[in-house]
Amino acid sequence: MAHHGSHRHLLRTPTDTEHRTAPVDAIVVPTARHGKALLPAIDLAARLGCTLVTLSSKWSSADTIAGLAEARGAELIALETERLRPGVLPVFRTTKLLANTMFERREDTSAKRNLGLLLARLAGWKRIVFLDDDILVPEATDLERAAALTDRYAGVGLAIGGFPDNSVVCHAYREAGGDQDTFVGGGALAVGRNSMTSFFPNIYNEDWFFLLGDHGLRPTTITGEAVQRPYDPFAHEIRARLEELGDCLAEGLFWLLDNERTYERARRPDYWQGFLDKRQKFITEVLTMVGGLPEDDRRERMLKSLKAARGRCLSIEPERCVDYVEAWREDRHEWRVHSNEFYRQVKNRPGLRPAVKALGLDSMTTFVAGRPAA
């Protein structure tokens, strides 16, 4: 099979002496859902006595979230990100590279996470946890254990239970009987101060790119548990198309890490030509596996999604992959420079409100004072 079903061996295992706890400064939730979807995160922040940062767009209302947080005694900063002024976040070369092409990604999750990183650094926070609005954390102390590990690790993920966190193609592979694992993801990820100068590019698997350094995977581990609410990955075949470039790029880089522990060869078109050939073969094999399942509506939707992914994969040129990797390397430097410029404005007076002012977020921010945790 031309596919690596697991990259877990790249993760590091904490020693027994590392199983301690540390305060979580903030839980950062990018959201586009209605306010009630934030209730689990609000309750979690109230239990931990930390700040909840919600980054809202579309159907998510800062005022609604503020009312819910106030009723539960949670400290909140709610931002309406659709009114973000130019210059707060850089225009990345990786974004411009895909603009006005079939590969352009019109989502704002990466931008919200980057805003969360910038706000955290300027506020002087040491440890934050990114949490998606469809993720539940049954044990609040799991976040404190993850937070403690950020002193040694670039990223500390929670093991996602419930519904697996995979791409459409990998979901189909699993359902057809393939041996498919999951990896650390941005849906439940603790990040320490030393990692806040990394960034999330606007592409599928942006969390994998966040965890990568200049030469390989930065120290990453996993602890605790979170639960993903179920959804139908095959509801719309467009999902598979939109994921494919990011899935190819991330899986291609991790294929090299699995085999060579470095991804220097990712700068060569011949490497990407070989990997894209393997990817196309893999999707074709999964199509065959799914075709052998009992006939029903779900199987038909899986087949449509897989055909959509294969079609998009056939459109990816090796040179585009090389260009993207080079642009991402440049963006890593650009983000560090950008973050440092803002940080210099507040380094002598860090705090949440100075950070909000430095970023020009005053007019789009709602604050709610919390009550001491019981």
- Minimal CA–CA distance to 300: which of 234, 244, 231? 234
Residue 301 CB-density burial (10 A; 0-12 exposed, 13-18 middle, 19+ buried):
middle
Dump the DSSP string for 294-348: PPSHHHHHHHHHHHHHHHHHHT--HHHHHHHHHHHHHHHHHHHHHHHHHHHHHTT
> What local confidence, expressed as pLDDT, does residue 14 receive?
83
- How far apart are the C-alpha atoms of 160 and 158, rounded to whole Å? 6
> What local confidence, expressed as pLDDT, does residue 17 receive?
55
> What local confidence, expressed as pLDDT, does residue 262 receive?
86
Tokens matching residue 365: 């921010």
- How far apart are the C-alpha atoms of 372 and 160, rounded to whole Å? 29
> What local confidence, expressed as pLDDT, does residue 16 receive?
63
- Minimal CA–CA distance to 53: which of 146, 151, 128, 136? 128
- Stated pTM of the model: 0.95
Residue identified by tokens 């699993």 is: 174
How distant, in Å, are the alpha carbons of 62, 127, 224, 286 from that of 2?
46, 38, 31, 11
Element at 27 (helix H, strand E): strand 26-31
Residue identified by tokens 């993207």 is: 324
CA atoms within 13 A of residue 37's CA, in its CB half-sphere: 19
Fold of domain 8-231+332-368: Spore Coat Polysaccharide Biosynthesis Protein SpsA; Chain A (3.90.550)
Tens of pLDDT along the chain (374 residues)?
679 999 999 999 887 656 699 999 999 999 999 889 999 999 999 999 999 999 999 888 899 999 999 999 999 999 999 888 899 999 999 999 999 999 999 999 999 999 999 999 999 999 999 999 999 999 999 999 999 999 999 999 999 988 998 999 999 999 999 999 999 999 999 999 999 999 999 999 999 999 999 889 999 999 999 999 999 999 999 999 999 999 999 999 999 999 988 888 999 999 999 999 999 999 999 999 999 999 999 999 999 999 999 999 999 999 999 999 999 999 999 999 999 999 999 988 888 999 999 999 988 888 898 876 54
Residue 14, Cβ neighbours under 10 Å: how many?
Answer: 18
Is the C-alpha dihedral spanning 136, 141, 142, 145 positive or negative? positive
Q: What is the DSSP letter of 204?
A: T
Inter-residue contact 270 to 319 (CB < 8 Å): no
